Amino acid sequence: MINRRNIYDVLAHWLLWLYPAAWRDRYGDEMAAVLRLHPVSLWTIITSTGAIAVAAANRQPNVRLIRFTMLPATLVTAAISVGLLVTVVLVLLSRREATELGVSDFLGACLILLMGGGAALAITALRRGLTHASRPTGNAANE
């Protein structure tokens, strides 16, 4: 007979497959053994989901792949930043003598905000990539 406890139990074991592969290889068997003894509830599922997100966010990516993508990523980030700078300068020059603000100004401001957000995201990703690229080659279950 299937009840709520059985469903949680199945879900908790199924969630193990969502952990990053290196993490699962290292801790999967142990955690499955604990899950067999531990009373599984909805809270177990929720905390497991959170733990999966943290493990995925902290996993050490393939260093060789990161080194390979560093040059194109740097060029794209530089292009986004220069594009943002040029847009801001052009907007300021074109609006120097304007006295009223219109819909196009609002849309332009939104575009600049979006580009600024994109540039910040690209720079953050690049910094994280450079940190990983300077590490010794190899993968680990965690940082």
Partner 1 sequence: MPADLSDLGRFTDVSMLILLSLSDGPKHGYAMLEDIARFSGTLFEPGTLYGAIARLEARGWIEALATADRRRPYRLTLDGERVLRSQLATLKKIVSTGVERLALA
* Structure-token pair, residue 82: 């220069």
Window 33 to 62, contacts with partner 1 (CB under 8 A)? 33-35, 37-38, 43-44, 47-52, 54-55
Confirm or reject binding of residue 32 to partner 1 (CB under 8 A). Answer: yes
* Structure-token pair, residue 67: 């080194």
Could you tell me the CA-to-CA distances from 1 to 5, 8, 45 in Å, in that order? 11, 14, 21
Cα 89 from Cα 99, distance rounded (Å): 18
Confirm or reject binding of residue 140 to partner 1 (CB under 8 A). Answer: yes
Strands (E), the chain: none
CA 7 to chain centre: 30
Residue listed under structure tokens 């809270």: 43
Stretch that binds partner 1, among 27-35, 74-82, 98-106, 128-136 (CB under 8 A): 27-35
CA 24 to chain centre: 19
Q: Choose between 44 and 87: whose C-beta lies nearer to partner 1.
A: 44
Residue 6 C-beta: closest distance to partner 1, Å: 17
Q: Choose between 134 and 142: whose C-beta lies nearer to partner 1.
A: 142
Q: Choose between 34 and 89: whose C-beta lies nearer to partner 1.
A: 34
Q: By the criterion CB under 8 A, which residues form the site for partner 1?
A: 12, 23, 26-27, 29-35, 37-38, 43-44, 47-52, 54-55, 140-143
